[in-house]
Amino acid sequence: MTDAASDSLFGGRLTIDLDAIVSNWRFLKDKLATGSECAATVKADAYGTGLTQTAKALYDAGCRTFFVALPVEALKLCRGMPEAKIYVLDGLFPGTAETLVEKGLRPVLGSVEEIREWADFCRTTQIRHPAALHVDTGIHRLGLSADEFDAVMKDADLIGSFTPTLIMSHLACGSDPAHPKNRDQLAKFRAMTAPYPDIPKSLANSAGVFLGSDFHFDLVRPGISLYGGKAIDTAPNPMQPVAQVEARIMMVRDVPVGDTIGYSATQTAKRSLKVAVVAAGYADGMIRRAGSTDAAPGAFGVIGGHKAPILGRISMDMITLDVTDIPAHLVRRGAFVEMLGPQVAASDLAAYAETIDYEYLTSLGRRFQRRYASIA
């Protein structure tokens, strides 16, 4: 938190609602099959919401298993969560086994080379340290092939050197419930893991939670849904928004009919316009592709419940908005415009920018004043 004087030094503010994140986690947890644990994926600074703050709020609410992408992220979670199990999704980087073990962290081993290095370290310390095994069921990124997994599990010296605490895979098309690849991956995962009933299993990300109990297994790993994002493309989003971006109006100006607005003159005033210039841009996570042209509209902000369409290109530090039809008392220098939040869903912005809400959330607020409070 910053004081009122320093608040004026920022072009905008990013408000994170930790209670909404916790509510989303509980909503997902209540959807799970009996016996399935709801973990939390907190990589990429907890999708832009603050890694340590978000993880601690979830831990205090009862979450005990966390997933990050990188070892450096995992190291930030070692304080204040003594019972937490922390998995590193990107696996075992060369030479990092000792550091992970010292901090009680668990790599997600996705290649034979990683497994051999982890097993060698465990034999050296004469302790069967825990780790997860990542199997590839069709996304073809990280993960052991079926043949590699079978060979590893049959190598008593290799698999006997450490303690596999989880077998996991990742859905490629979970956001589309009707896609046949979901059932294909489920069948492959069941076939690969069936011989090992005593090792917990995990297949579902956020989308997998909504695909039904067949996908839940022992643990689910929601990410985007925790942060209010839309996990299923073809259904309404039931999650609460958790972040709000408000940008400061720097000036209000008139633009005559026929004049152009912004870089490259992509937008022409079709009538006399009143334009607000706000202190936010693509350097703050307001993606440039969401700008407007004469051929296609762009995204929008909201001022006092009124939609304010973006006019022209989004610049590094500023955005121009059409406020012609908004009451003048709402549009004044120093006032704030909601650019993302309860009235401007990240998934809606993403549609204009031809991207996904993940990109918006993980890019937000490098220069905004960040605060933790309710946005309801």
Which residues neighbour 244 within 8 Å (Cβ) at sequence distance 6 or greater?
A: 14, 15, 17, 338, 340, 341, 342, 375
Q: Do residues 265 and 140 share a domain?
A: no
Specify which of 3-17, 77-91, 148-162, 361-375 reaches the highest per-range mean pLDDT: 148-162
Same domain for 351 and 206?
no
pLDDT at position 77 over 60: yes
Neighbours of 359 (CB within 10 A): 16
Max CA distance (Å), the chain: 78
Q: Based on the domain organization, do 172 and 298 belong to the same domain? A: no
Please indicate, yes or no, whether residues 72 and 212 belong to a single structural domain of this protein.
yes
Confidence at 5, pLDDT banded by 50, 70, 90: low
- Answer yes or no: is 323 within a domain: yes
Residue 365 has pLDDT above 80, yes or no: no
pLDDT, averaged across the chain: 95
- Whether 200 is in a domain gets the answer yes
Confidence category of residue 3, pLDDT binned at 50, 70, 90: low
Q: Considering the domain boundaries, does residue 316 fall inside one?
A: yes
pLDDT tens digits for range 240-290: 999 999 999 999 999 999 999 999 999 999 999 999 999 999 999 999 999
Does position 177 have pLDDT exceeding 60, yes or no? yes
Q: What is the CATH number of the domain that holds 28?
A: 3.20.20.10
Catalytic residue list contains 263: yes
- pLDDT at res. 62: 97
Return the pLDDT at 1.
45
Please say which residue of 165, 197, 227 terminates a domain.
227
Q: Is 150 helix (H, G, I), strand (E, B) or coil?
A: helix
pLDDT at 79 (0 to 100): 80
**Domain range for residue 216?**
18-227
Is the distance from CB of 376 to CB of 62 less than 8 angstroms?
no
Marked catalytic residue, from 29, 43, 56, 230: 43
Whether residue 13 is contained in a domain is answered as no
Q: Verify whether residue 43 is a known catalytic residue.
A: yes
In the structure, what pLDDT confidence band is assigned to residue 196 with cuts at 50, 70 and 90? very high
pLDDT at 292: 96
Provide the pairing of β-strand 163-168 with 130-134: parallel
Residues 342 and 204 both lie in one domain: no
pLDDT above 70 coverage of the chain, percent: 99
Last residue of one domain, picked from the residues 227, 255, 270? 227
- Whether 2 shows a pLDDT value over 60: the answer reads no
Where is the domain boundary, 184, 203, 227?
A: 227
Q: Is the pLDDT of residue 211 over 50?
A: yes
31, 47, 230, 263: which is the annotated catalytic residue? 263
The amino acid occupying position 17 is D
CATH code of the domain containing 337: 2.40.37.10
* Position 182 in a domain: yes
- pLDDT category at 4 given cuts 50, 70, 90 is low
Q: Give me the percent of the chain exceeding a pLDDT of 90.
A: 95
- Residue 172, pLDDT above cutoff 60: yes
> Which pairing describes strands 163-168 and 201-202: parallel, antiparallel, or unpaired?
parallel
Are 308 and 284 in a shared domain?
yes
Structure tokens given for 49: 């919401």
Q: In which residue are the tokens 């022992």 written?
A: 218
Q: Average pLDDT of 314-337?
A: 97
Nearest CA-CA partner of 15 in 229, 244, 226: 244
The pair of structure tokens assigned to 252 is 């209000």
* pLDDT attached to residue 18: 98
Q: What residues are paired with 133 via a beta bridge?
A: 109, 167
The stretch 177-198 carries a mean pLDDT of 97
Residue 324 scores a pLDDT above 80: yes
DSSP E strands, the chain: 12-16, 37-38, 40-41, 65-68, 85-88, 106-109, 130-134, 163-168, 201-202, 219-220, 243-255, 260-261, 267-268, 273-278, 300-303, 306-309, 319-322, 336-340, 369-372
Q: Which residues pair with 372 in a beta bridge?
A: 16
pLDDT in tens, 113-160: 999 999 999 999 999 999 999 999 999 999 999 999 999 999 999 999
pLDDT of residue 160: 96
11-69: per-residue pLDDT in tens?
Answer: 999 999 999 999 999 999 999 989 999 999 999 999 999 999 999 999 999 999 999 99
Q: What is the DSSP letter of 225?
A: G
Proportion of the chain in helix, strand, coil states, percent, rounded to 5: 35, 25, 45
